[in-house]
Structure 1
């Protein structure tokens, strides 16, 4: 399937794993910002990797819960 998708696109050598393109969304207020941040933080929960967003070691959700994190969020 990835090989077939890669052959359809001149920018791919032989395989395509990710969808091409991006669809930027303007974060014009806090409501939209928090909605998108919640979506990102809940991805590991939805994937069944962790039970809570702050349990995922690589998530910025840890910063919002004042837990030790791999990087700082300002």
Structure 2
């Protein structure tokens, strides 16, 4: 079993815990969201392929690095 940290890209993404979601893993992008139960779910790769660095995002190419600084930050 891979970790969620291994399943998503190292750049242009944010990994953060959030209690109270419908699924243990929620992937979100501009205009899209999917709930997953495991970091081994093949939909992670499909979601990343479709939405990671999407030209449809409001700020294409803007990095998430340094964008979040709060308890629970993992990277």
In the superposition, the TM-score normalised over structure 1's length comes to 0.26
Higher helix share: 1
Higher strand share: 2
Larger radius of gyration: 1
Q: Normalising by structure 2, report the TM-score.
A: 0.26
